[in-house]
Amino acid sequence: MCPLYVDLDGTLIATDSLHESLLQLTRVSPASLLWLPLWLLRGKAALKQEVASRAAIDVQTLPYRPEVLELVRSARAAGRRTVLATASDERIARAVAAHLGLFDAVLASDGEHNLRGAGKRAAIEADAGGRGFSYAGNGHVDLAVWGGADTAVVVSRSESLARRVAGLTTIEARIVPPRIPLKGYLYGVRLHQWLKNVLIFLPLMPVLHELTQPIVLHAVLAFVAFGLMASGIYVLNDLVDLESDRRHHRKRLRPFASGEITALHGLALAGLLCAAALALSLALLPAAFVSVLLLYMALTSAYSLFLKRRAVVDVFALAGLYTLRVAAGTAATGLPLSFWILSFSMFIFLSLALAKRYVELSGSPPDAQRMKRDRGYQPGDGNFVLCTGVAAGQMSVLLLSLYLHDQEMLARYDHPEYLWVLIPLFLFWTLRVWLKAVRGALHDDPVVFAARDWVSRLAVVIAALALWAAD
Parallel/antiparallel/unpaired status of strands 82-89 and 4-6: parallel
Q: Are 7 and 142 in contact (CB under 8 A)?
A: yes
Cα(377)–Cα(262) distance, rounded to whole angstroms?
31
Identify the CA nearest to 44 among candidates 108, 111, 106, 144. 111
Does 293 map to a domain? yes
Residues 84 and 188 in one domain: no
Please report which confidence band the pLDDT of residue 99 belongs to, taking 50, 70 and 90 as the band edges: very high
Report the pLDDT value the prediction gives residue 446, as an integer from 0 to 100: 80
Say whether pLDDT at 253 is over 90: no
Write down which residue in 130, 149, 175 finishes a domain.
175
Q: What is the pLDDT of residues 283-321, one digit of tens each?
A: 999 999 999 999 999 998 888 777 888 888 889 998 999
Cα(270)–Cα(186) distance, rounded to whole angstroms?
13
Say whether pLDDT at 208 is over 70: no
Residues 250 and 359 in one domain: no
Cα(7)–Cα(146) distance, rounded to whole angstroms?
12
Does 466 map to a domain? yes
Q: What is the DSSP string of 201-214?
A: GGGGGGGGGG--HH
Q: Are 450 and 198 in contact (CB under 8 A)?
A: no
Give percent of the chain with pLDDT exceeding 90.
Answer: 50
Domain range holding 117?
Answer: 4-175
Identify the CA nearest to 201 among candidates 78, 343, 327, 84. 327
Return the ∠ at Cα 372 (arms to 369 and 376), rounded to 5°.
Answer: 170
Residue 325 belongs to domain with CATH number:
1.10.357.140
Report the pLDDT value the prediction gives residue 365, as an integer from 0 to 100: 63
Does 377 map to a domain? no
Say whether pLDDT at 172 is over 70: yes
Cross-strand partners of 170: 151
Identify the CA nearest to 382 among candidates 303, 432, 306, 311. 311
Say whether pLDDT at 194 is over 70: yes
Does 328 map to a domain? yes
Does 376 map to a domain? no
Q: What is the pLDDT of residues 315-371, one digit of tens each?
A: 999 899 989 999 999 999 988 777 788 888 889 999 998 998 888 888 766 666 666
Residues 308 and 343 in one domain: no
CA distances (Å), origin 388, targets 12, 117, 157, 422, 429: 47, 58, 53, 23, 17
Residues 135 and 33 in one domain: yes
Cα(452)–Cα(196) distance, rounded to whole angstroms?
11
Return the ∠ at Cα 36 (arms to 31 and 42), rounded to 5°.
Answer: 145
Say whether pLDDT at 167 is over 80: yes
Q: What are phi and psi of 248, to 5 degrees?
A: -90, 135
Mean pLDDT of the region 422-429: 92
Q: At what angle do helices 422-438 and 454-470 cross, to 10 degrees?
A: 170
Residues 118 and 238 in one domain: no
Per-residue exposure over 303-330, b if at least 16 CB sit within 10 Å of its own CB, e if not: bbbebbeebeebbebbbbbbbbbbbbbb
Residues 126 and 36 in one domain: yes
Residues 345 and 468 in one domain: yes
Does 222 map to a domain? yes
Which residues, other chains included, contact 19 with Cβ-Cβ below 8 Å and sequence gap of 6+? Answer: 262, 263, 264
Does 299 map to a domain? yes
Residue of higher predicted confidence among 85 and 457: 85
Give percent of the chain with pLDDT exceeding 70.
Answer: 96
Q: Are 266 and 188 in contact (CB under 8 A)?
A: yes
Write down which residue in 133, 156, 175 finishes a domain.
175
Does 294 map to a domain? yes
Cα(149)–Cα(135) distance, rounded to whole angstroms?
6
Mean pLDDT of the region 201-208: 77
Residues 327 and 204 in one domain: yes
Q: Are 261 and 186 in contact (CB under 8 A)?
A: no
List, in sequence order, the alpha helices (H) in 306-421: 313-333, 339-361, 365-374, 382-403, 407-410
Residues 168 and 215 in one domain: no
Report the pLDDT value the prediction gives residue 79, as an integer from 0 to 100: 92
Q: What is the pLDDT of residues 24-73, one digit of tens each?
A: 888 888 888 889 999 999 999 999 999 999 988 889 989 999 999 999 99
Q: How many helices (H) and strands (E) does the chain have?
A: 21, 6
Mean pLDDT of the region 3-11: 95
Look at the alpha carbons of 237, 241, 245, 246 in this order and tell me if their dihedral is positive or negative.
positive
Q: Are 374 and 309 in contact (CB under 8 A)?
A: yes
Q: At what angle do helices 44-54 and 90-100 cross, to 10 degrees?
A: 60
For the chain, the average pLDDT equals 87
Residue 127 belongs to domain with CATH number:
3.40.50.1000
Say whether pLDDT at 372 is over 70: no
For the chain, the maximum distance between any two Cα atoms, rounded to a whole number of angstroms, is 94
Report the pLDDT value the prediction gives residue 367, as an integer from 0 to 100: 64
Cα(66)–Cα(102) distance, rounded to whole angstroms?
13
Domain count, the chain: 3
